[in-house]
Amino acid sequence: MASEPGLRIEQRPLSDRARSRFPALRDAPGTVFFDNAAGAQVPEEVLDAIREHLLRRNVQRGGRYDRSQAVEAMLGEARERVASFLNAQSPQETSFGLNSTSLIRMIAECTRPQLRAGDEVVVTELDHEANIGPWLRLEASGVKARFWKIRNPGARLETGDLEELLRSGRVRLVAMPLASNATGGVVDVAAASRLARKAGATTFVDAVHFAPHGRIDVQELGADFLAFSGYKIFGPHMGFLWGRLDALRELKPAREFFIPADPPYAFEAGTQTYEGIAGMLGAMRYLASLDAEGSLPRAMDRIRSDERGLSEALLTALADVRGLTILGESDPGRAEARVPTVSFAISGFDPARIVEHLASRGIQARDGHLYAPRLLEASGIDPKTGLARVSLCHYNTREEIEKLREALHALSSRNT
Ligand SMILES: Cc1ncc(COP(=O)(O)O)c(C=O)c1O
């Protein structure tokens, strides 16, 4: 009996508890923020942590005085938190950086000296260009890039197609996404990593889009490297790199004498944005607080299960709009295969006009190539026109989805 009220609280949508902690959402009640894939809002914890850092400890690490030692302790705690967010084996496996693009670029360039002419790297048609371009540039050293193509309909990556590519016996690295920032589709990275490892290839995972939507367990994924960005997971603008310790140690990033040769510092160029890292610690605290006992993995599982309901509601609402087609999985019954990010077209309407129409009704979304022009081309969509995209996260609500449905109905009925 005593557990009943608690149970009822757990069954309420997370958004009921979460929204009031985000000043940007709280202070703009009429606005629907559906552009989370481009960067999420931040909770009070993040603002407090940044303010606290800049007010009380805005000094360089490594000094022999208390405030400097407090900076060192904060950096250590943040590294530990990020490691537990990923279930890394050790905090030493996680490095801080500017953003994911620069971290992916750094790993690609560190990989270059290890590759020989004729070696192959596999990139996917599903990725954001940040996880394609840096690997394609290895072709200047005689490396061959091969595309793991999507299967339509559904813009899916089939593991069997990777198996086919790996048969050449020359693939040294596979770069892939954990989820697509255009289709919202989740990729079976664990299966792909197993195949790659068997074929002697290392794996690089772009987890930027998946990270706000669920638990990442790098040990279960079995990959070698992974990157994600703070500003997509309710924190400040910065990036994170994870690598298996022995895989990191094989790489030799450029470094000045004052930068230690061992991970994680070998991968951190100069002074980091301490206030950003403090803010990230705040974001991790916020996420953990979504679980009654403060467990970060359980909180991320809760987000994932709540968002399944949002995906179902969103896909059901969109199915109701005449002339609307979705890129990727559109079946509300298969919401477990995606996160609540949906890109779509409405016949007879330019995506830019769709998004302007939504903006006029207080719904903030996005349009364009979504930095995935190869995916759009492979799906028969002109990247110059692109698609409209709505991207939701745990603080969004079914009422907001209903507003979207009404707005799109109003637009599509103009076409009669
Ligand atoms: C899937 C994906 N990968 C990579 C990036 C690039 O991340 P960053 O802006 O941190 O460089 C983005 C940014 O939107 C993204 O959505």
Alpha-carbon distance values, 374 to 101, 145, 161, 388 (Å)? 17, 14, 17, 16
- Of all protein residues, the one whose alpha carbon is nearest to atom 7 of ligand 1 is 100
Question: What is the separation, in whole angstroms, between the first and last Cα of the chain?
Answer: 56
d(CA 153, CA 166): 24
pLDDT digits (tens, 9 = 90+) for 17-38: 999 999 999 999 999 999 999 9
CB-ligand 1 contact for 100 (6 Å cutoff) = yes
Number of Cβ within 10 Å of residue 234's Cβ equals: 29
CB-ligand 1 contact for 203 (6 Å cutoff) = no
Question: What is the position in ligand 1's atom list of the atom closest to the CA of 239?
Answer: 10
Q: What is the pLDDT of residue 413?
A: 87
d(CA 409, CA 351): 15
Name the β-bridge partners of 151. Answer: 156
pLDDT at 7 over 80: no
CB-ligand 1 contact for 184 (6 Å cutoff) = no
- The single-letter DSSP state of residue 244 is -
Query: Which residue ranges make up each domain of the chain?
Result: 4-42+296-415, 50-287
Residue, of 11 and 25, whose pLDDT is higher: 25
Question: pLDDT tier at 414 (50, 70, 90 boundaries)?
Answer: confident
pLDDT digits (tens, 9 = 90+) for 122-137: 999 999 999 999 999 9
Question: pLDDT tier at 153 (50, 70, 90 boundaries)?
Answer: confident
pLDDT digits (tens, 9 = 90+) for 334-392: 999 999 999 999 999 999 999 999 999 999 999 999 999 999 999 999 999 999 999 99
Ligand 1 geometric centre to CA of 60 (Å):
29
Report the CATH fold assignment for 50-287: Aspartate Aminotransferase; domain 2 (3.40.640)
pLDDT digits (tens, 9 = 90+) for 161-174: 999 999 999 999 99
CA angle 46, 300, 230 (to 5 degrees): 40
Question: pLDDT tier at 11 (50, 70, 90 boundaries)?
Answer: confident
Q: What are phi and psi of 269, to 5 degrees?
A: -85, 115
Q: Kindly report the length of the chain.
A: 416
Report the CATH fold assignment for 4-42+296-415: Aspartate Aminotransferase, domain 1 (3.90.1150)
* Per-chain mean pLDDT for the chain: 96
Question: pLDDT tier at 4 (50, 70, 90 boundaries)?
Answer: very low
- Of all protein residues, the one whose alpha carbon is nearest to atom 14 of ligand 1 is 38
Q: What is the pLDDT of residue 415?
A: 53
DSSP 347-382: TTB-HHHHHHHHHHTTEE-EEE-TT-HHHHHHTT--
Contact (Cβ atoms closer than 8 angstroms) between residue 68 and residue 62: yes
CB-ligand 1 contact for 181 (6 Å cutoff) = yes
> Per-residue pLDDT averaged across 51-62, rounded?
97
Of 275, 266, 302, which Cα lies nearest the Cα of 287? 302
